[in-house]
C-alpha cells in the first residue's frame, strides 16, 4: 500500500532555544498573582487561625472576672453562708459569692467556679441544702474546643465549598492568579521585554522575505522619526501565513528579541470564554495596555481561532467569537497616528479568515513562509547542529538534499533524533549513519515487532518490489531511494522515492508515472499470485485522488478539456457550501467518473505489461528483499539490469513513499 510521507510540522526554531523573556520589574502583568503574595491556602489557613484566636480571646475575657476556688475553699464558703446560688454541671460548680457583709446585692457579688470530686458529689448537695443555697442542675456541656467546633463548623463547610468552586472556576479559566470571576475581562496576554542574548533574526535560516518585512517594522519602531520624515506610515498589522512548522512563532520571538519595545503575546483561543462578552473585554484590555507603553507589538498566534468569517456555519456564527472579532477589527482601525502599536498574527488557515481582517488598514502586509529550499535546509541544519559534536563523515549538504519537503520543525526533529540514536550507541559524536537512521524514523516511522508468516512476507516482498521496479521502469517517476519489508509505523513495508530537487509544478507525464508507481504493488501481486490483497487500499485511494485532480481540475483529459468541474473542498461548517449550487450537470459528472476510471485502467495495463516483460527482475528483487529485508538504491542498481531511471520531472515538493 502506498502513501505520501506525512510528517508533523512544527515551528522552525533552533534546538537549543534560549529562555523566553521574563516580565521585568515594571511589568504590569507581574502584579497579577505576584511572587510576594502567599498562596491562597495559606491565606485561608491564616483566616481560620485568626478566627479561633478571636473566639478563644472572647471566651477568656468572659471568664476573666470569675474566681477559681478549690473544693475545700468552696465548702468553707458554703458553711460560712457566703454562697448566694450555684449551678452544677457534671463535676463543675458555678455560682456567685455574696457581697461583703453577707448582702445579696447583685452589684457586689463575685462569680466563682470550682470542681468537685465524683465521690463527694452527694455530700456537696446535702451541704448546700443544709445551708439553704439555691441549686440549679444542668447536663454537662461541651468543652471550649467542642463549643468552637459546633459554632464554626457550618461556616467552615460553607467557606470550604466556596473556595473549592472558586479554584475550580480559576482552573477552567486558565489557572492563573487574578483570573477569577471579577478578572475574566482582563487580558491574558503575556508581556515580554528584550532578553539578553534573546532570539534574533540571525538565529533563523531561510525565510528571507519574511525577515525583510519584519526587519522594516523593527527599524521603524526603533527609529520612528526617521521614517516619519520620509512620510512613511507604520503598517497596522502583519499576517504571517504558512504550513505548520515553517517558523511563524519563531519569527515572532525574533521580533521580540530584535525590537527593544514591549511585546505582548497571546493565542487566539485565549480570548474565548464561557461567558459572552469576555473575549471583547480582553481585547480592549490588551490594546489598552499596549497603547500605554507604545511603541509596542501585539502577537496573536493561531488567528483563525477567532478570525473566521462572520455569519457562517449551520445556524449562524458563534456570538462570543464574532463579538471578539468585531472588537479586534475596531481596535486595529482605531489607532491614532501617535499610537505606535503593531499587530502581528500567525495562521496556517488564511482561507477561513474574515475579509475585513485582510483589508488594507488592518493587516497591511501578508508574509508567506514556505518550506525551505535545499540551501535553506542546509543552513537550518547548521543551526540545529551547532552545539552537537558531529563526526567527520557528516555532510549536512547531503542531508539537506535527501530531506526534500522538510519544514524547519522537521529538520529540528531530525537533528534531535540523530543525537538520540548516537546516545543509544554511546557514541561520542553524531555520525552520518545516525542522521540516516533518524531520517528513516521521521519518514517511515519507528520499527515495530510484527510476527508475519512466510506467506505474508512473500506477498509484502513482491508488493514492494512491484512499487520499486515500476519506479525504475517509468522514466518520469521520482528516483528510488530505499525499499524495506520491515514493519514501520502503521505500514508492513515501504518503498521510498526522493526527488532530485525541489519541485513546484506537476506535468501530465509525471502525474501518470506517479500513478503507475502507486499501482505497481497491486500489479505485482496480480502477476505473481494471480490475485490481489487488501494491501493496495491506500495505493488505490491516492491514485484515484490524483487521477480525479488531473481530469477535473488540471485539464489533463481530452474529453473534459480545460474546464474545472470539481466539487468544492470547503467544509460545511464554514457556511460557504450550503447554499452554493453545483455548476456542472449530472452528465458531466458521469463523464468525469468515466475519464478517471479510463485513466487509471490504461495506466494499470501499461504497468502490467512492463512488469510482465521484466518478471525475472521482479523475482530477483523480491528474493533479495526476503533475504536482506532492506535494500538501498545502490544495492538495487547493482542487483538489477535496468538502465532507465526515473528523471522525476514536475512534482510536488513532498517526498514520496510506497507502503503496504
What whole-number distance in Å separates Cα of residue 176 and Cα of residue 450? 47
How far CA 462 is from CA of 108, 626, 638, in Å, comes to 115, 9, 19
Active-site residue identified among 417, 464, 496, 525: 464
Q: Residues 447, 493: contact at Cβ < 8 Å? A: no
122 is an annotated ligand-binding site residue: no
Counting Cβ atoms within 10 Å, is residue 38 exposed (0-12), middle (13-18) or buried (19+)? exposed
Q: DSSP string spanning 172-200? A: HTTS-TT-SGGGTTS--PEEE---SS---
Residue the block writes with cell 443544709: 130
How far CA 388 is from CA of 15, 204, 406, 427, 443, in Å, comes to 10, 18, 20, 12, 22
- 3-state secondary structure string, 100-131? CCCCCCHHHCEEEEEECCHHHHHHHHHHHHHC
366 is an annotated ligand-binding site residue: no
463 is an annotated ligand-binding site residue: yes
Helix (H, G, I), strand (E, B) or coil at 579: coil
Q: Residue 213, Cβ neighbours under 10 Å: how many?
A: 16
102 is an annotated ligand-binding site residue: no
178 is an annotated ligand-binding site residue: no
242 is an annotated ligand-binding site residue: yes
616 is an annotated ligand-binding site residue: no
351 is an annotated ligand-binding site residue: no
384 is an annotated ligand-binding site residue: no
246 is an annotated ligand-binding site residue: yes
What whole-number distance in Å separates Cα of residue 384 and Cα of residue 396? 11
- State the angle between helix axes of 586-613 and 615-628 in degrees (0 to 180), rounded to the nearest 10: 80
289 is catalytic: no
What's the gap between Cα 363 and its chain centre? 25
193 is an annotated ligand-binding site residue: no
Instruction: Name the DSSP letter for residue 247.
Output: S
Helix (H, G, I), strand (E, B) or coil at 137: strand
Q: Residue 19, Cβ neighbours under 10 Å: how many?
A: 7
> Which residues are known binding-site members for Zn(2+)?
463, 467, 539
> Which residues are known binding-site members?
242-249, 463, 467, 539
Q: Which residues are catalytic?
A: 464
> Which residues are known binding-site members for ATP?
242-249
Amino acid at each position: 500500500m502506498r502513501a505520501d510521507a506525512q510528517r508533523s510540522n512544527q515551528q522552525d526554531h533552533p534546538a537549543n532555544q534560549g529562555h523566553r523573556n521574563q516580565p521585568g520589574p515594571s511589568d504590569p502583568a507581574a502584579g497579577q498573582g505576584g511572587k510576594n503574595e502567599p498562596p491562597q491556602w495559606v491565606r485561608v489557613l491564616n483566616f481560620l487561625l485568626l478566627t479561633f484566636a478571636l473566639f478563644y480571646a472572647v471566651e477568656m475575657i468572659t471568664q476573666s472576672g470569675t474566681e477559681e476556688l478549690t473544693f475545700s475553699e468552696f465548702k468553707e464558703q458554703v458553711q460560712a453562708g457566703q454562697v448566694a446560688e450555684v449551678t452544677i454541671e457534671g463535676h463543675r460548680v458555678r455560682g456567685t459569692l455574696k457581697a461583703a457583709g453577707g448582702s445579696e446585692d447583685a452589684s457586689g457579688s463575685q462569680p466563682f467556679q470550682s470542681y468537685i470530686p465524683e465521690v463527694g458529689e452527694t455530700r456537696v448537695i446535702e451541704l448546700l441544702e443544709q445551708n439553704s443555697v439555691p441549686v440549679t442542675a444542668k447536663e454537662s456541656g461541651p468543652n471550649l474546643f467542642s463549643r468552637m467546633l459546633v459554632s464554626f463548623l457550618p461556616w467552615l463547610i460553607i467557606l470550604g465549598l466556596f473556595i473549592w468552586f472558586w479554584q475550580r472556576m480559576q482552573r477552567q479559566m486558565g489557572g492563573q492568579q487574578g483570573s477569577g470571576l471579577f478578572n475574566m475581562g482582563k487580558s491574558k496576554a503575556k508581556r515580554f521585554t528584550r532578553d539578553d542574548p534573546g532570539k534574533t533574526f540571525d538565529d533563523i535560516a531561510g525565510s528571507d522575505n519574511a525577515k525583510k518585512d519584519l526587519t522594516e517594522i523593527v527599524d521603524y519602531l526603533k527609529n520612528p522619526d526617521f521614517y516619519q520624515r520620509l512620510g512613511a506610515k507604520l503598517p497596522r498589522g502583519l499576517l504571517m501565513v504558512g504550513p505548520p512548522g515553517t517558523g511563524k512563532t519563531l519569527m515572532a520571538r525574533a521580533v521580540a528579541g530584535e525590537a527593544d519595545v514591549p511585546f505582548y503575546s497571546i493565542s487566539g483561543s485565549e480570548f474565548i470564554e464561557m461567558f459572552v462578552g469576555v473575549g471583547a473585554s480582553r481585547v480592549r484590555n490588551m490594546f489598552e495596555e499596549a497603547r500605554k507603553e507604545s511603541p509596542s507589538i501585539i502577537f496573536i498566534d493561531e488567528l483563525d481561532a477567532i478570525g473566521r468569517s462572520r455569519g457562517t456555519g449551520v445556524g449562524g456564527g458563534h456570538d462570543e467569537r464574532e463579538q471578539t472579532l468585531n472588537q479586534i477589527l475596531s481596535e486595529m482601525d482605531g489607532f491614532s497616528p501617535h499610537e505606535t502599536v503593531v499587530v502581528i498574527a500567525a495562521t496556517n488557515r488564511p482561507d477561513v479568515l474574515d475579509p475585513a481582517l485582510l483589508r488594507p488598514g488592518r493587516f497591511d502586509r501578508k508574509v508567506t513562509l514556505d518550506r525551505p529550499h535545499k540551501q535553506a535546509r542546509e543552513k537550518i541544519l547548521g543551526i540545529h547542529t551547532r552545539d552537537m559534536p558531529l563526526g567527520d563523515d557528516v555532510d549536512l549538504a547531503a542531508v539537506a538534499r535527501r530531506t526534500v519537503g522538510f519544514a524547519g520543525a522537521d529538520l529540528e526533529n531530525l537533528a534531535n533524533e540523530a543525537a538520540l540514536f548516537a546516545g543509544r550507541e554511546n557514541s561520542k559524536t553524531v555520525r552520518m549513519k545516525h542522521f540516516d537512521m533518524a531520517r528513516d524514523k521521521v519518514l517511515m516511522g519507528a520499527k515495530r515487532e510484527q510476527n508475519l508468516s512466510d506467506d505474508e512476507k512473500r506477498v509484502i516482498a513482491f508488493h514492494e518490489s512491484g512499487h520499486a521496479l515500476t519506479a525504475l521502469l517509468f522514466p518520469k517517476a521520482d528516483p528510488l531511494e530505499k525499499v524495506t519489508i520491515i514493519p514501520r509505523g502503521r505500514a508492513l513495508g515501504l518503498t521510498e522515492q526522493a526527488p532530485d530537487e525541489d519541485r513546484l509544478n506537476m506535468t501530465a507525464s509525471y502525474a501518470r508515472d506517479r500513478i503507475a508507481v502507486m499501482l505497481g504493488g497491486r500489479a505485482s501481486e496480480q502477476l505473481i499470485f494471480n490475485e490481489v490483497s487488501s494491501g493496495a487500499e491506500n495505493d488505490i485511494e491516492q491514485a484515484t485522488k490524483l487521477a480525479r485532480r488531473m481530469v477535473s481540475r488540471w485539464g489533463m483529459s481530452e474529453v473534459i478539456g480545460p474546464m474545472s468541474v470539481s466539487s468544492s473542498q470547503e467544509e460545511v461548517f464554514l457556511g460557504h457550501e450550503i447554499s452554493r449550487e453545483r455548476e456542472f450537470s449530472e452528465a458531466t459528472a458521469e463523464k468525469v467518473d468515466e475519464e478517471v476510471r479510463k485513466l487509471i485502467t490504461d495506466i494499470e495495463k501499461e504497468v502490467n505489461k512492463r512488469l510482465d516483460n521484466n518478471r525475472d527482475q521482479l523475482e530477483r528483487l523480491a528474493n533479495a528483499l526476503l533475504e536482506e529485508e532492506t535494500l538501498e538504491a545502490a544495492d538495487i542498481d547493482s542487483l538489477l539490469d535496468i538502465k532507465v531511471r526515473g528523471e522525476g520531472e514536475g512534482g510536488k515538493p513532498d517526498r514520496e513513499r510506497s507502503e503496504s
